[in-house]
């Protein structure tokens, strides 16, 4: 019995270590720029629309992401940090251009501890992490569809 319990504990530790934050590129022409701000709109059917403004040179583009089958949502002031991602997970940077040292604005968290903590069936869900210069939005949802508007 002790060996089984030790193995389950080891499995849990390995899962936490394996949590990884990956760039998410739902549209082909994402600029190498930070999102200025995310705006949220929701309804009573577990749907969520998030719009984000990107400034590239003198032009502004707005990306709209429609989340379907939302199970959890967290939104907070960016100065508070990322609350549902392991402290050991590194956030990818934009990497080049004038905002090379800024964090990539659209992310997915693989092997998410937060997702695993949600009760009920979550096999077809993903943990999305949206960063802007003003706020952080985290969503656990079954589907996300993005397009420029």
* pLDDT, average across residues 96-106: 93
Least confident of 45-54, 71-80, 113-122: 71-80
Quote the pLDDT of residue 3. Answer: 60
- Report whether 43 contacts 105 (CB < 8 A): no
What pTM, to 2 d.p., does this model score? 0.85
Contacts of residue 22, Cβ cutoff 8 Å, sequence gap at least 6: 92, 107, 108, 109, 110
pLDDT for the residue 88: 76
pLDDT in tens, 8-58: 554 555 454 589 999 999 999 999 999 999 999 998 788 999 999 999 888
Closest Cα partner for 54 from 81, 78, 86, 27? 27
Say which residue, 39 or 78, is predicted with more confidence.
39
The answer to whether the beta carbons of residues 60 and 130 sit under 8 Å apart is no
Q: Which of helix, strand or coil describes residue 101?
A: coil
């Amino acid at each position: 019995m002790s060996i089984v319990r030790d193995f389950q504990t080891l499995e849990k530790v390995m899962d936490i270590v394996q949590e990884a934050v990956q760039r998410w590129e739902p549209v082909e022409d994402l600029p190498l720029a930070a999102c200025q701000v995310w705006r949220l709109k929701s309804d009573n059917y577990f749907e969520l629309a998030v719009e984000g403004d990107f400034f590239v040179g003198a032009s502004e583009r707005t990306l709209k992401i429609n989340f379907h089958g939302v199970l959890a949502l967290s939104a907070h002031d960016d100065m508070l940090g990322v609350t549902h991602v392991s402290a050991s997970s590194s956030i990818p940077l934009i990497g080049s251009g004038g905002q090379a040292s800024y964090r990539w604005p659209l992310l997915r968290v693989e092997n998410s501890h937060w997702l695993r903590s949600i009760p009920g069936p979550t096999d077809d869900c993903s943990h999305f992490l949206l960063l802007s210069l003003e706020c952080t939005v985290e969503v656990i949802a079954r589907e996300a569809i993005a397009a420029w508007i």
